[in-house]
Amino acid sequence: MVVSTLALALERTDRQQARSVWWGPRMERLCLACSVFGGCLAYSCGRVADMMLLIGFAYCGQRTFLFVAAFIMALGQVFAAVEYAHQGHALEERTRRFFTSLGQARVFIDARESWRQQRVTDSFARQKFVDAIGESGSLAIFAVYVILYLDLSYHPWLILSVLRSVIGLACGIVVWLDFSFNQQLADEPLAPGAFRISWHHHCVWLCYLASDFGLRLLSMGLFLASARLRPYSASIVVMLILAYLLAVATQLQAYEAEGKETATCRVADDRWIQVRRQVVAQRVVDGLLLTWLVHVLPADLRLAPRHMAESRQLFALHPQVRARITRVLVPLRAADFLSLGMAAMFAHFDKWEFVALVGMFLSTHILLGQVCLLRGPDFTRSPTHVELPNEIIPVVVAGDSQTGRL
């Protein structure tokens, strides 16, 4: 909260300093090397840690934990492979990319391509985001559940492992938001001094996302680990996921329904036409990924996707959809945290767990308010207009030319 408050105060006072003179090509190359080689090293260590986790469960005779962990890993790997294969064109290329991802070779291929192009490629950055949201987040929840179930809450190395997962996931989301926003700006003709994401945004985003995901881990872990609630915990979690899915799907359906409505526009003194607004279809699964484990939408400042392919590629929703979902999700998520935490404390009260729940609940919502106060871009992409009938076009062009002469 201290770091986020300071960053927000500096951002609000408009005291954004340019990069120092020591930031040049050498620093850019150093950052690229750390991103490429460090990313490969971190991915390799993560895969080794996952295998050691499975071996540890098998060695200790925890077959249920073994099957659940293996299922989460397999599901995350299949999801990442499907997303990677979707970037291909022909069926043969998609099949090859799918099995390349399952064979754990994708990250090294993307790293080699990034180093060859001397920039972080879209596929390399996207792989980190998909891995963080699809697999690492779910495994972190399961890890907290196992820690609480086996009464290892005060084990220092396990605590550090959970903190690493929280910060790592938050960093992955922040990097992806920055990368995808800059990718959108690459196709936009911007004036000098236009909006750019600065370090202030990074600090506030990182603090909020880490706090939000930490509260998710704590509330969900305490709820699932309670022995008195175990007969009902699985069904309640499924109901919560369905509630998030329904909230996202309802808002997306309402937004797309508006695109089918017609409006009467005046194009001349005596000419009126019926115009239908064109909207970009967006996936429900993208909204669920951005709201269930971590509520990313309040920190999302990206522009509206121009087409469905861009929406899927960047996991981006239209700003109007983000605003609608956020208005519904903020009270729903607060009720989610309160209900899970209160149920866990009612089943087994612990004063330190209670203090942690209350403190993280308050800090998360304070940080949520700070994220909403961050200033975003004050420009939007050029809207996609619906094609007009041929007999209307001369009237519109004539009106535009007369306006230009005036």
Residue 14 lies in a domain: no
Q: What is the mean pLDDT of residues 7-36?
A: 67
| Two structure tokens written together for 278 | 């064109």
Residue 17 lies in a domain: no
Look up tokens 């099995």; give the residue. Answer: 99
Residue 364's pLDDT band (cuts 50, 70, 90): very high
For the chain, how many structural domains are there in total?
Answer: 1
- Please report how the helices 63-85 and 25-59 are oriented relative to each other, as an axis angle in degrees rounded to 10: 140
Tell me the C-alpha to C-alpha distance, in Å, between residue 105 and each of 50, 54, 124, 160, 254.
16, 21, 12, 29, 41
Is the pLDDT at 246 greater than 50? The verdict is: yes
| Residues 141, 213: Cα–Cα separation, whole Å | 10
Residue 367's pLDDT band (cuts 50, 70, 90): very high
Q: What is the pLDDT of residues 113-146, one digit of tens each?
A: 888 888 888 888 888 888 888 888 888 888 898 8
Residue 205 lies in a domain: yes
Is the pLDDT at 385 greater than 50? The verdict is: no
Whole-number pLDDT of residue 33: 83
Name residues whose C-beta falls within 8 Å of residue 345's C-beta, 6 or more positions apart in sequence.
222, 353, 354, 357
Comparing 63-72, 146-155, 323-332, the range with the smallest average pLDDT is 146-155
DSSP 3-state assignment of 162?
A: helix
Residue 354's pLDDT band (cuts 50, 70, 90): very high
Comparing 107-121, 255-269, 286-300, 326-340, the range with the smallest average pLDDT is 255-269
Q: What is the mean pLDDT of residues 249-261?
A: 79
Q: What is the pLDDT of residues 340-349, one digit of tens each?
A: 999 999 988 8
Q: What is the mean pLDDT of residues 271-291?
A: 72
Residue 18 lies in a domain: no
Whole-number pLDDT of residue 371: 92
| Residues 75, 135: Cα–Cα separation, whole Å | 8
Identify the domain containing residue 81 by its residue range: 2-8+24-184+195-405
Residue 167: Cβ-neighbour burial (10 angstroms; 0-12, 13-18, 19+): middle
Residue 19 lies in a domain: no
Nearest CA to 176 among 315, 375, 30, 318?
315
Looking at the chain, the whole-number percentage of residues with pLDDT higher than 90 is 23
| Residues 222, 228: Cα–Cα separation, whole Å | 11
Whole-number pLDDT of residue 128: 81
Q: What stretches of 163-313 adopt beta strand conformation (E)?
A: 262-266, 272-276
Residue 238 lies in a domain: yes
Residue 16 lies in a domain: no
Which is more confident, 228 or 274?
A: 228
| Two structure tokens written together for 115 | 């180093």
Q: What is the pLDDT of residues 195-225, one digit of tens each?
A: 778 888 889 999 999 999 999 999 999 999 8
| Residues 228, 274: Cα–Cα separation, whole Å | 61
Residue 274 forms beta bridges with which residues?
A: 264
| Two structure tokens written together for 294 | 């971590």
Residue 400's pLDDT band (cuts 50, 70, 90): very low
Residue 257's pLDDT band (cuts 50, 70, 90): confident
Residue 82 lies in a domain: yes
